[in-house]
Structure 1
Amino acid sequence: MIGTSLPVRRDSISETADPENSPAREKPRILGVGTAVMPTSYSQQELLETFRIEDPRVRSVFLNSAIERRSLQLPPELPDGTRRQETQGELLSKHRGNGLEMGARALQECLKGIGADIDDVRYLTCVTSTGFLTPGFSALLIKELGLRTDTSRLDVVGMGCNAGLNGLNAVAGWSTAHPGELAVMVCSEACSAAYVFDGTMRTSVVNSLFGDGAAAVALTTGGDSTAQGPSLLKFSSHIIPEAAGAMRYDWDDDQGKFSFFLDRDVPYVVGANAETVIGRLLNGTGLGPRDIDHWVVHSGGKKVIDSVMVNLGLTRHDVRHTTDVLRDHGNLSSGSFLFSYERLMESGIVRPGEYGVLMTMGPGSTIETALLRY
């Protein structure tokens, strides 16, 4: 067990709260994170050569993506060196197998980093968008790793790249109601299980961007006062209904499988609404954007990051952890922001009392945010 119970105020962390008047011990705290990727990694040039892509438009998309490498499990190789088209059933099997394996490693790394055991976990949320299965990853991880059979759990499926913060909001709510207990979230995205190869620009944009990865994060509220980690002060959401079709994962009749679509205007839609959601997040806190010391933004793609940066008045230095993750791993969907958060914490520059913002964006179109105090 992590710590002991302390009395807590039952105010919702999703409501406006003055961070100066909300004692950190009464808010959920992030204890640590763990990450995992597939063992096989490819440069963008290697992928172009592997799939024998000669179309200059497609090559330009890959080579100008600000991505150097991505961890992927490619389709089986045929005798002539080309790659076989996988069926939807094979892709779902890849989603289950790779997603479970990466998720288990990420969770184990997270627990190891905070000195906790499997038996300490009392609540588990699993997030994914790269396939559908029943039972979901939460039940499968409990069986695979031997978590307690009375572990409370939740599966968040199909919400896309923003879903990591949707899941974290749920975990934080459970943590607030169960002080002293350990709650964890696992985002596991086998993006290799969501690819369609048909030579169109629609699929080429997606195929140039996503990588396989999983991330886990552990939270607790109250309990051991010596435990370190930033407090989650507040969440805020913003949905853009008129852009509901701008990012979607739907059925492709011609290919006989699901296919992801990204509208070319997505970066500008997200950027144009970033200031609104940040204003809502900071409303009533006495803080402004310039008071935020650390920004952790979803590595959604070069244009998305640039658009958010311009609209919020951020510098390249502010989003360096985000761009570094994009460079090394591509877009890891729901767990991307935790990879960036891990790099921030490993940098050793964070000081007590500083503020941070987590931001994710995805289908809906939706922007999710959270306010931290370190």
Structure 2
Amino acid sequence: MHKETMILQSICSMVPEHGYTQSECWEIFSQSIAAKTLKEASLDLVKRILLGDSWIERRYFAVDPIESVFEMSAEALNKAFEKLAPVLAAKSLKAVLDQSGLKATELDALFVCTCTGYLCPGLSSHIAEKVGMRSDSFLIDIVGHGCGAALPMLYSVKGFLKENPDCYAAAIAIELSSTAFYVDDDPGCLVSLCIFADGVNTTLWHHTKKGLGWHCKDFLSLHIPKNREKLRFENAFGKLRNKLHRTVPVLATEAVWELYKRFEKHSQTDLKRLIAHPGGKEVLIELRKALPCGKFEESEAVLRAFGNMSSPSVMFAFQKGIESQPIEKEFWLFSFGAGFSCHGCRIVMRH
């Protein structure tokens, strides 16, 4: 276990302006050109998910109007990501700076993770410019981790702050699933279409300043490359196509359970609250079976309110947890995604 900590100064979760209920999503999709390309069984699957009990009440999308994604080329989708992602991320970053009473010029480092679009230079360059960070600030983009990216990004932040204890560092997890739109008859692709959404979470950290009092520490990771093809993005006609195997809920639960057991060996309290990436209804059902000590209430609440936003989702749930003022003063966070990979960390309140 890694004993050095970093302390949370401020946190902000944010979604785009336009939200849609699942029934509204069905109305939009059923009238689209994309729907006409599907087999009848595939269209029935989409209908069952969107009009059934998916545990998702609303999803938010940055692309406006959302109907335009059905006719967007690969180039148009990536241009939409380049235009929209920096705006939403910068808005979230400004919010955490305002909460901490900092100017953008006082921010020393910016870490950004995403998997729903590719830019070179990365999002960090665009965001830093928009908020007015110094030209000598450290900027880094973390890609390729999928839904699990937020926690390894925080581990990277911790390493930076250990070497630069007087600095402030921000971490942004942002995904625009609407700019990674793809549809075909593959069931995993169709499920992805029905559950993924857009959102951003930004956190601000310092090595020693008290801030909100939450200390982030003890990172663990698990990589299972034999399951790589079960969950990943692949390129299809220049677009991002999500592969999502039906066994992912079980695979994710097994990986989370493995990290949970490692944390338990070093735990000094029974008063901890478990937060997991809300990857979907079936994921949370499996997690509750394997970990009865974890109700995953915050994870379910985030899934219901926003859908699966990929990497920001676990941090949305964490923010909801700390704002609900729980009895527990220790959170164990778990994320999982492409690789197949799973990550965990402990966040502890210290006065």
User: Do these two structures clear the TM 0.5 threshold for a shared fold by scoring above it?
Assistant: yes
For residue 215 of structure 2, the aligned residue among 202, 225, 231 is 231
Q: Give the distance between the partners of 1:33 and 1:195, measured in 2 at CA.
A: 29
Q: Give the distance between the partners of 1:286 and 1:268, measured in 2 at CA.
A: 25
Do structure 1's residue 58 and structure 2's residue 76 form an aligned pair? no
Name the residue aligned to 1:321: 298
For residue 293 of structure 1, the aligned residue among 272, 289, 292 is 272
Letter in 1 for 2:20: Y
Q: Are the equivalent residues in 2 in contact too, given 1:35–1:110 (CA < 8 A)?
A: no
For residue 243 of structure 1, the aligned residue among 227, 232, 239 is 227
Which shows bigger deviation, 155-164 or 340-349? 340-349
Do structure 1's residue 197 and structure 2's residue 176 form an aligned pair? no
Deviations 1:151-171 (A, max 9, x none): 112100121010000111000
Q: Give the distance between the partners of 1:50 and 1:31, measured in 2 at CA.
A: 41
Deviations 1:282-339 (A, max 9, x none): 43x2437xx2422221111111122122212234xx3111111100111111111111
Q: Give the distance between the partners of 2:12 and 2:69, measured in 1 at CA.
A: 32
Do structure 1's residue 217 and structure 2's residue 203 form an aligned pair? yes
Name the residue aligned to 1:12: none
Question: Size of the alignment, in residue pairs?
Answer: 338
Do structure 1's residue 94 and structure 2's residue 84 form an aligned pair? no
Name the residue aligned to 1:332: 309
Q: Give the distance between the partners of 1:83 and 1:274, measured in 2 at CA.
A: 34
Q: Are the equivalent residues in 2 in contact too, given 1:270–1:304 (CA < 8 A)?
A: yes
Q: Give the distance between the partners of 1:198 and 1:264, measured in 2 at CA.
A: 16
SS of the residue 1:314 aligns to: coil
- Please state how far the C-alpha of 1:69 moved relative to its aligned partner: 0.3
Name the residue aligned to 1:119: 105
Consecutive unaligned residues of structure 1, counting only runs of 5 or more, are: 1-14, 18-25
Q: Are the equivalent residues in 1 in contact too, given 2:63–2:80 (CA < 8 A)?
A: no
Q: Give the distance between the partners of 1:98 and 1:157, measured in 2 at CA.
A: 18
Once the two structures are superposed, the pairs formed by residues 295-310 of structure 1 within 5 Å of their partners are 295-310=274-289
Q: Are the equivalent residues in 2 in contact too, given 1:32–1:113 (CA < 8 A)?
A: yes
Q: Give the distance between the partners of 2:170 and 2:133, measured in 1 at CA.
A: 12
- Please state how far the C-alpha of 1:118 moved relative to its aligned partner: 1.0
Deviations 1:29-78 (A, max 9, x none): 11221122111110110011111168332211223321010001457588
Q: Are the equivalent residues in 2 in contact too, given 1:274–1:312 (CA < 8 A)?
A: no
Do structure 1's residue 268 and structure 2's residue 250 form an aligned pair? yes
Name the residue aligned to 1:348: 325
Change (3 A) 1:77 1:154: closer
Which shows bigger deviation, 106-115 or 203-212? 106-115
Do structure 1's residue 68 and structure 2's residue 57 form an aligned pair? yes
Once the two structures are superposed, the pairs formed by residues 28-67 of structure 1 within 5 Å of their partners are 28-52=6-30, 55-62=43-50, 63-67=52-56
For residue 188 of structure 1, the aligned residue among 174, 197, 205 is 174
For residue 277 of structure 1, the aligned residue among 247, 256, 259 is 259
TM-score, with normalisation over the residues of structure 2? 0.90
- Please state how far the C-alpha of 1:241 moved relative to its aligned partner: 2.1
Consecutive unaligned residues of structure 2, counting only runs of 5 or more, are: none
Q: Give the distance between the partners of 1:143 and 1:350, measured in 2 at CA.
A: 41
Name the residue aligned to 1:360: 335
4+ long deviations beyond 3 Å: 73-78
SS of the residue 1:149 aligns to: coil
Change (3 A) 1:133 1:174: same
SS of the residue 1:227 aligns to: coil
Name the residue aligned to 2:146: 160
- Please state how far the C-alpha of 1:219 moved relative to its aligned partner: 0.8
SS of the residue 1:148 aligns to: coil
Deviations 1:351-374 (A, max 9, x none): 6xx221011010111110001211
Do structure 1's residue 135 and structure 2's residue 121 form an aligned pair? yes
Aligned residues: CA RMSD: 2.0
Q: Give the distance between the partners of 2:66 and 2:334, measured in 1 at CA.
A: 38
Letter in 1 for 2:318: Y
SS of the residue 2:20 aligns to: strand
Q: Give the distance between the partners of 2:182 and 2:78, measured in 1 at CA.
A: 13
